[in-house]
Structures are given as C-alpha cells and as structure tokens.
Structure 1
Amino acid sequence: GSSQDGGGHAGPRGNVPAFLTKLWTLVEDPDTDPLICWSPSGNSFHVFDQGQFAKEVLPKYFKHNNMASFVRQLNMYGFRKVVHIEQGGLVKPEKDDTEFQHPYFIRGQEHLLENIKRKVTSVSFLLYQQENRLLGISSAAFVLVVEMMRMASDRPREEARRSACRPLLQPAPLPSAPALLSQAS
C-alpha cells in the first residue's frame, strides 16, 4: 500500500481494532481503488470483483483470502450492505459491485473509527453455539435463555422506573359532595 502521510494522525488508532485500521488503510489506498474504494459521497465503500479482491487484496492485509470471512467481520462490526432499488432481485446487477456502509466509517473522518464497536452478542453467541453443541442445547434454546437473562437484568430498572412514575399515575382524588356544592354557589 502507499503511505503518503506516514499515518500522521496517531490519535484514534490506539483504541481502534486492527481489522478497522486495516480496512481504513485498504479503502484509502489508491492502489487498491480498482477493487475497493470509497463511494463518491464518502459515506460507504465499494468492493468490485469479489473473487479478484479476495485473491489479490485480502491476503496482503489479512491472514486469509476468504471473502465470506471478510464480510462476516464487517457484519460483526455493524457494517451493512447497501442495496439499491434497482437491485431488488429482478434486475441482475451489471457488474460485481458490493457496497458497505457504517455510520462511523466516513471518508476524511478517521477519528470516528473508535466509535465502531464489535458486536459482543454475536461473538459470545458463536462461542456459546459451539459450546452448546457439545452440551446438546439448540441455538433456539440458547436465544431464549439469553433473552430471559436480559429481561431479568432489565427488571430492576423497569421497577425503579415504574415506582418513580407511580405518583404521576395515581388518579387525583375526586372532590367531596360538600366541596362541589360550595363551588356551585
């Protein structure tokens, strides 16, 4: 890759995972533009010719040449595939062009990278999935257990919220008959 500025802005890279730093370098590198580059808006990036990208570019930056692994990593960090209306399924895209987007992955805004967090649930889910296969627990059962644990951890907060709102929700006492009569006169 080309390093024009030698990585002058050392700030955010300390807290940024290697995958994101490499991805940023990859998208920024003009030498890789025929296969991966920013969209014109700078709010997303394109991967062209996935086969060639996986074979030629991925091994230079990552320890593999597997496009599916690369996409899985993107998903783990919350990147989303951009689907255009004309790609709704009926019209086959002209060229092999996949576009990915993340609200904190924006051209010229490298400092935002530290806001991109790996989805902990998906990682722990994958680990538990492997563990649970050994224990014979289905993925569906695991999802239910996780959901029940989440609900249980939310309960104290929910109770506190309810008790804080309770005085507001109490109906106002109705005026007594003598009070109504004195207002009428």
Structure 2
Amino acid sequence: QKRSYRHESFPEKLYRMLMELEQQGRDDVISFVRQGTAFQIHQPAVFEDEIMRNCFRQSKLASFKRQLSMYGFQRMSGGPDHGSYRNPNFRRGNPELCRNMERSNSGES
C-alpha cells in the first residue's frame, strides 16, 4: 500500500514519517528523542539512501537539512539530545502543531 504524501507540508510529512517508521521498527534510523520535543537522525546514510527518497522526493541530506532550517528547526548543540533537531511546534503526540509551522524564504536561522 503506497501512501500519498502530497498536499502535506514538509513538517507534516516529517511527523508522519517518524510515526510510521516507529511503527515499522525503523526508529533506529531516525526517531523522536525520549521526551518527544525533538527528533534525531541516528543513521544518516541509511536515512538518505532508503527513506528520504520515498517520503520527501529528494535524495540529498543537505537538501533535507535546508528544509529543516527553512521551517525553523534548530540543531541542538549540547546536552543529552546533542545533534537532534527541535522546533516548539514539532512535538510527539501533537501533530496538529505542525500546521502552525510556516516556511521562511531564507534558510538562515
């Protein structure tokens, strides 16, 4: 069964992908952090080669990271969730918050 991801914003696609991968037992590749306030890419090469293309129609991790930046995600540089990406409107258990996220024209954050 192939799911259609069009008509969803990038954050909505990302949220759905994280939940589906968890259900499929693939959260060793990418997952929400324990508190659900951010997500982390655990296996960048596997994510880029096997998952990104199917969900986002892009094949470069750099393009994915640029999208994260345009939607206001910030990379955590310290603490237990070092390297994860967070946005106050992107929380596990609250998919409706993704609708509050808007894309900025610049990828600068």
Task: Note whether the superposition's TM-score is higher than 0.5.
Answer: yes
Correspondence for 1:117 among 95, 102, 107: 102
Calculate the TM-score normalised by the size of structure 1: 0.49
- AA aligned opposite 2:39: F
Say whether the 8 Å CA contact 2:12–2:99 is kept in structure 1: no
- AA aligned opposite 1:62: F
- Report which of the two structures shows the higher radius of gyration computed on alpha carbons: 1
Unaligned runs of 5+ in 2: none
Query: For 2:83, what is the secondary structure of its paired residue?
Result: strand
- Residue deviations 1:59-97, cap 9 Å, x none? 1101122100000000000000011158xxxxxxxxxx8
Calculate the TM-score normalised by the size of structure 2: 0.80
Greater helix share, 1 or 2?
A: 1
- Looking at both structures, which has the greater relative contact order when contacts are Cα pairs under 8 Å and sequence separation is at least 6? 2
Unaligned runs of 5+ in 1: 4-13, 87-96, 126-185
Say whether the 8 Å CA contact 1:26–1:36 is kept in structure 2: no
Correspondence for 2:16 among 18, 25, 47: 25
- AA aligned opposite 1:42: G
How many residue pairs get aligned? The number is 100
**Aligned-residue identity in percent:** 28
The answer to whether residue 46 in structure 2 is matched with residue 52 in structure 1 is yes
Q: Counterpart in 1 of 2:63?
A: 69
Query: For 1:45, what is the secondary structure of its paired residue?
Result: strand
CA RMSD of aligned residues (A): 2.4
- CA distance 1:85–1:20, change in 2 (3 Å): closer
- Residue deviations 1:114-152, cap 9 Å, x none? 1111113x17x9xxxxxxxxxxxxxxxxxxxxxxxxxxx
